[in-house]
Amino acid sequence: MGITTIGPDMPGFPRDYYNVDWSRAACSGSDVEAFYEEKAGVAKPLNIILRKICGGCPIKSECASFAIKHEMHGFWGGLTPSDRVEIRRKAKL
Ligand code: SF4
């Protein structure tokens, strides 16, 4: 089984996904599974690494905005699913 990598050609996302230039993503080419480990109980140590990657990403704000609107799972824009739940709650989204 091969590794699924993050890149601009991820199919099946909402329309505004395709308005972001994902080719500039700092995580481009990374193992997508690393960004979806919250169910595996390794989220906290991994999140430190992911926050560093996202911290240097030129499209971090676009990524976070997309995920706040659309994504219930995974680490996007430096935010965990729990982070996004809290943001939605505070913004009454
Ligand atoms: S902010 Fe993080 S998850 Fe989003 S594209 Fe950049 S590196 Fe990837």
Instruction: State the average pLDDT for the chain.
Output: 85
pLDDT, average across residues 79-86: 93
Give the span between the Cα atoms of 52 and 60, in whole angstroms: 11
With 60 as the cut, is the pLDDT of residue 15 above it? yes
Q: What is the pLDDT of residue 33?
A: 84
pLDDT, average across residues 2-31: 80
Whole-number Å distance, alpha carbon 45 to ligand 1 midpoint, is: 17
Domain boundaries, the chain: 15-91
Whole-number Å distance, alpha carbon 44 to ligand 1 midpoint, is: 17
pLDDT, average across residues 39-64: 84
**Position in ligand 1 atom list of the atom nearest CA 57:** 6
Shortest CA distance to 43 belongs to which of 58, 33, 57? 33
Whole-number Å distance, alpha carbon 63 to ligand 1 midpoint, is: 6
Confidence of residue 1 (pLDDT cuts 50, 70, 90): very low
- Tokens 């995580």, located at residue: 27
With 50 as the cut, is the pLDDT of residue 79 above it? yes
pTM above 0.75, yes or no: yes
- Tokens 């499209």, located at residue: 59
